Amino acid sequence: MIPNEIKEAAAYLQSRIIDNTTIGIVLGTGLGGLVQKIDIQECIDYKDIPHFPVSTVQGHSGRLIVGRIGGVPVLAMQGRFHFYEGWSMAQVTFPARVFCLLGIKTLFVSNAAGGLNPGFKVGDVMVITDHINMFGTNPLIGPNMDEFGPRFPDMSQTYSQRLVSKALEIGKAENLDLRTGVYVGTSGPTFETPAEYKMFRALGADAVGMSTVPEVIVARHCGLEVFGVSIITDSGVPGEIVEVSHEEVQKVAAAAEPRMTRIIEALIIDEGKK
Ligand code: HPA
């Protein structure tokens, strides 16, 4: 059974989104600049959407942006919910389920992450090819919402190989120097100890961050195609580890933003040609 809260939020938004919108975007760290590429039709504050989580911690609650990128209708979340803020997994993933009911078919996500692969450098942009869930929980725990997807969802191709290939083609053509790799998601809010960075590398990850995995699991459960990118904002490679702060993460992310934005913009315009 789909909870009424999700249905009511979707019903409220249904008449306000552009017909045939199939692209959803989570404007995470590094994608703030994508807003400038959106031909905005309407902004809807989270606080006006029934049952939508509303952050009281930050100055503003966040908003949904209805508009077009290169003529292609999109629905973009400006402001996301992190598990470390104290939201439940159901709240963190609520928007992804609403997106699904609204007919979104492809989800674009971005984040900031610590680099684990010794071949990466700070400022690199990594296309996510797979993830490891180290949140210690899973957003699908609990009664299964059969209308969205199966009890035991397949995760053999979580990040669309089709979109990864396209992104790499675009990256090559435009000299964006993209990396690819596995993202490990952890609750935070602490950054990792050197021993934890080493452990995550040993587990097979190339980058570590505190978001994305919950939304992506839920998106895949309801059959959305997913594309994700990380900005490597600091290094967790032994010998390169220095003190890291949120401010430093934001600064590096802002510098990498144009490359990140370009990839997503080009992919979305390409998707519109389908
Ligand atoms: N670890 C976890 N999350 C992060 C990091 C990191 O090093 N950098 C940016 N987000």
| Tens of pLDDT, residue by residue, the chain (274 residues) | 889 999 999 999 999 999 999 999 998 876 778 888 999 999 999 999 999 998 765 555 689 999 999 999 999 999 889 999 999 999 999 999 999 999 999 999 999 999 999 999 999 999 999 999 999 999 999 999 999 999 999 999 999 999 999 999 999 999 999 999 999 999 999 999 999 999 999 999 999 999 999 999 999 999 999 999 999 999 998 888 888 888 888 888 888 888 889 999 999 999 887 7
- Give residue 273's pLDDT: 79
Separation of CA 268 from chain center: 15
Q: Using the atom order of ligand 1, give the atom closest to the CA of residue 115.
A: 7
- Give residue 57's pLDDT: 57
Q: Ligand 1: distance of its center to the CA of 53 in Å?
A: 24
Answer whether the bond into residue 189 is a cis peptide, omega within 30°: yes
Q: Using the atom order of ligand 1, give the atom closest to the CA of residue 236.
A: 7
- Give residue 219's pLDDT: 98
Contact by Cβ (8 Å): 267, 259 = no
Distance CA 150, CA 136 (A): 21
- Give residue 103's pLDDT: 96
Q: Is the CB–ligand 1 distance for residue 184 below 6 Å?
A: no
- Give residue 5's pLDDT: 95
Q: Is the CB–ligand 1 distance for residue 233 below 6 Å?
A: yes
- Give residue 243's pLDDT: 85
Q: Is the CB–ligand 1 distance for residue 27 below 6 Å?
A: no
Amino acid at 105: K
Q: How many DSSP H helices and E strands does the chain contain?
A: 7, 9
Q: Is the CB–ligand 1 distance for residue 191 below 6 Å?
A: yes
- Give residue 31's pLDDT: 74
Contact by Cβ (8 Å): 191, 244 = yes
Instruction: Please give the structure tokens belonging to residue 69.
Output: 């990128």
Amino acid at 140: L
Q: Is the CB–ligand 1 distance for residue 113 below 6 Å?
A: yes
- Residue 210's contacts (CB-CB under 8 Å, 6 or more residues apart) are 82, 83, 84, 111, 185, 186, 187, 188, 189
Backbone angles phi, psi at 254, to 5 degrees: -65, -40
Q: Which residue's CA is the nearest one to ligand 1's atom 7?
A: 114
Contact by Cβ (8 Å): 6, 233 = no
Q: Is the CB–ligand 1 distance for residue 30 below 6 Å?
A: no
Q: Is the CB–ligand 1 distance for residue 111 below 6 Å?
A: no
